[in-house]
Every structure is written in C-alpha cells, then in structure tokens.
Amino acid sequence: MLRITAVGLFASTLAGCGFLGLGGGDDLVGCREGFQSIAEVTDVQVADLGIGDAGLLVQVDGETVCRLLYGDYTPTSPMYIASAAKWLSAGAILALVDRGDLQLDTKVSTFYPSALHPLADVTLAQLISHTSGMPGWHPCLDVTEGTLDMCVQDMLDLDLLFPPGTGFLYGGPAFSLAGAMAQRATGKLWYEIFAEVMATPLRLTATTYREENPTLSEGFVTSSLEDYGRFARMILDDGVWKGKRVLSHEMVLAMRTDWAEGTTPYYSPTETASYGLGAWTGSLDGDGYAQTLTSPGAQGFYPLVDYNRRMVVVFAVEDNIQRIGDGLTQILRAIRGAVDASAGVP
C-alpha cells in the first residue's frame, strides 16, 4: 500500500490548488503553478505501481519547478542507485583528466604493464564508454573484501570480445579498471578521489562508494535526490556549480560525444547503443553533441539532463526498472509536456 508522508501529500494537494510554487527554490515541496500536471501524473503512477519511498526532482534553467516526495523519502535520503553510478564515476575520472593525472587516451599498460594484449592497448575513454571489448561482468565485482587493485589484477589476462573501439558491450568490469588506473595515477583510494573531485565541490552528503573493492559501475553505490540533482545540474551548466568549475567545457563535451557511433553492438540493455562517457546519449545537435544524457539504474533510479529544455530530472526509487518502466515513461512524458507548455512550445 502506498504511504505518502504528510508533507508530500499536502504539497501535492497545495500544488494542484496553486498555493505552492511562487518561490520555486531549494525548499520547494510540490510543483509550481503551471507544472501541477507533473504531480498529478506522478501521484497516479506511484499509487498504481505500489511504489513506496520515492522522490522526483524537476529543474528548468536552474529553478526547481517540482519536488515530490513519497513514503518516508526525503531529498537527502540515500538509496542504492545501481548503474546510475556509472555517470558519477565517469564524472570523477574526467575531473582527473582535467587535472592532468590521466588522459582520455591513457592506455591500460601505462599503469598495468603486465596486462596482456590487446587489453594493454585499451584506452581510458574506451573503458568508460563500453567500447573496450571487456566482458560485461567479472566475479570480482561481487567480492566485498580485498581492494580494487586486487580485483583488477584478476582481469588483466582477460580475452577481449572484440578489438578495442570496434564494438559496444554494456557492463561493469571496465569501470573498475578505469577506477584502478585513477588510484594508481593519484596514489589515493577511489572513495578519496571521488570525495576530492566531486563530493566536496558539489557538497554531496549521501553519495558513497564502498571503501573495500568499490564497484564504480553499480552495486553498493548510494546517492540521493538532492545529491544527484546537483551533479546533473553541474553537467547541464557546462561543468559549473554555484560559480565554481568542477569539470572543464572540454570534458563535458567529451561526455556528450557518442563514442559508440559506428561500432558493432554486442550487448545493450536499451534499443540503441548510443553512449558517451558514463551516460547514454540522445539525439545529437548540429555540432555532434548529445542533446540529452541519462544513466538509469536497474532499480529504477533515473537521472536525466536535457540541454534543449535546459532541464534536469531525477526520479529516485529502489524498485525494478522493468516493473516500473511504463510508469516512468508516463511521468517523463508529463514532465516534457509541462516544460514545453511553460515555454510556449506547441
């Protein structure tokens, strides 16, 4: 049975009556006037699907127009985000590229000279774009003891499934290898790296990685509605958060580039294989950069950046993306419709 907190229930009701939304600031709960249809559709989908704790954040051009909370969920409540972690991990790795600790064309052999060919020649960009040729899973990702470096050592003799850069295969081991390269480049553990280059500048309080053998691609990574919203807003604003640059313009453009274009699709959980660095890419603009980026998790956590609409969406939930997929589609359709209507788009 769906249980909405008193604040969430009253917020949705007041939003529908037009009593909320005059400020549209960080403390908004509900939807601003003109965006109430988002609350109406989301309330129905959450109830029909029997979703418990969940949250929805919608921001347009830096202004919060909807923040909906269900069950006992709060904007800072941590939850497991599954593959939505890939985008966060890639962001931190690109921050190291900005600092000069790594390069997009840095090869695995630079830090792991014992790696067998052709894995030795795989580049950092290929690792975080699923074009490395590495398999989609490795048993060491499930190991909760030991270190990330120990996990990666077990991968160095892997046979690639296709020559690097020629195919697309969605999976997790490549992200662990990229994280291990980051550790060797900096002399720090992954959770320390992430805290330094992402959590501290964005003031993330609920985003955590396992200290022992962190899985950068999924698994035990947590985040929250508020935290992921800040990360997505930074990506929308070309790498800048609150006037401070977190990622360079060049790294954001690299993230928005479809690195899978022209490759052979070997495995993709979606209908397409259009992928940037850490995130799925939507249609490209005239300069060849993605107009949308997203990194959904298998448990339903769904972040989205839409450059055309200047929009950030985060749907925070722990469920099953297959079970709630149709409902999420309805919610996203309502969001796009309301945002377009507010901008006068037919």
Is residue 306 domain-resident? no
Instruction: Quote the crossing angle between the two packed helices 173-186 and 85-99, to the nearest 10°.
Output: 30
User: Are 277 and 242 in the same domain?
Assistant: yes
Find where tokens 């790296």 sit: 193
User: Are 161 and 91 in the same domain?
Assistant: yes
Instruction: Name the residue among 82, 43, 69 with its Cα closest to residue 225.
Output: 69
**30: region left, alpha or beta (phi > 0 left; psi from -120 to 50 alpha):** left
User: Are 36 and 96 in the same domain?
Assistant: no
pLDDT at 234: 98
Is residue 12 domain-resident? yes
Alpha carbons 95 and 194: distance in angstroms, whole number: 9
Is residue 331 domain-resident? yes
Is residue 322 domain-resident? yes
Is residue 305 domain-resident? no
- Are the C-beta atoms of 177 and 155 separated by less than 8 Å? yes
User: Are 141 and 273 in the same domain?
Assistant: yes
CATH, residue 291: 3.40.710.10
Q: What is the pLDDT of residues 218-273, one digit of tens each?
A: 989 999 999 999 999 999 999 999 999 999 999 999 999 999 999 999 999 987 78
Alpha carbons 87 and 73: distance in angstroms, whole number: 23
Is residue 301 domain-resident? no
User: Are 113 and 243 in the same domain?
Assistant: yes
User: Are 46 and 107 in the same domain?
Assistant: no
Q: What is the pLDDT of residues 283-300, one digit of tens each?
A: 999 999 999 999 999 999
Q: What is the pTM of this model?
A: 0.92
User: Are 59 and 32 in the same domain?
Assistant: yes
Q: 164: cis peptide before it, omega within 30°? A: no
- Are the C-beta atoms of 331 and 45 separated by less than 8 Å? yes
User: Are 204 and 249 in the same domain?
Assistant: yes
User: Are 139 and 248 in the same domain?
Assistant: yes
User: Are 263 and 206 in the same domain?
Assistant: yes
Is residue 304 domain-resident? no
Token pair of 84, please?
């939505």
- Give how many domains the chain has, as a whole number: 2
User: Are 113 and 68 in the same domain?
Assistant: no
List Cβ<8 Å contacts ≥24 apart for 99-105.
99/197, 101/182, 101/185, 101/186, 102/181, 102/182, 102/185, 104/254
pLDDT at 25: 54
Alpha carbons 276 and 281: distance in angstroms, whole number: 6
Find where tokens 């722990």 sit: 318
As averages over each run of 10 residues, the pLDDT of the chain (346 residues) reads 31 34 61 97 98 97 97 97 98 98 98 96 98 97 93 95 97 98 98 98 98 94 98 98 98 98 94 92 96 97 98 97 96 98 89
pLDDT at 13: 36
- Are the C-beta atoms of 47 and 191 separated by less than 8 Å? no
Alpha carbons 339 and 304: distance in angstroms, whole number: 14
Domain residue limits at 320 = 6-75+311-342
Find where tokens 């954040």 sit: 57
Is residue 86 domain-resident? yes
User: Are 37 and 172 in the same domain?
Assistant: no
